[in-house]
Amino acid sequence: MNSLALDLKRDSALTLSQAAVGCEFQIKQVEGSACRQLREIGFCEQMRVKKITHGRNMLCTVCGTRLALSKDLADQIQVVPA
C-alpha cells in the first residue's frame, strides 16, 4: 500500500478525486446529484475501490470492474483508506 494511504487516519475521509492513485479505499459515503446512478453501477458504502489514474476523467476499479468517472462524479464519493 502507498505510504500516503498509510499516513492517513482511518477516520479521515476524502473524495475519490482527492485520493492517491494506486491505493485501495473503502467507500464511506455516496452523496450528490448523481447518487442514484453511482449506486446502480456499484459505488455504494462499504465497497472497496482502487484508483488507477487521475485527471479530468479517472479510472478506478470496483468489484473487479474498471470504470471511468468524471471529476464531478468522483467528488461525490467519500472514501477512507482500506
Domain residue spans in the chain? 3-81
Q: Give one word for 22, left, alpha or beta, with left for phi > 0 and alpha for psi -120 to 50.
A: left
Instruction: Give me the architecture of the 3-81 domain, per CATH.
Output: Roll (2.30)
User: What is the per-residue pLDDT for 36?
Assistant: 87
Beta-ladder partners of 69: 58
CA gap 30, 76 in Å, rounded? 6
Helices (H), 1-82: 3-7, 35-40, 71-74
Distances, alpha carbon 56 to alpha carbons 14, 71, 72, 74, 75, in Å: 17, 6, 9, 10, 11
C-alpha cell at 36: 442514484
User: What is the per-residue pLDDT for 11?
Assistant: 57
Successive 10-residue mean pLDDT values, the chain, 82 residues: 53 88 94 86 90 94 92 92 88
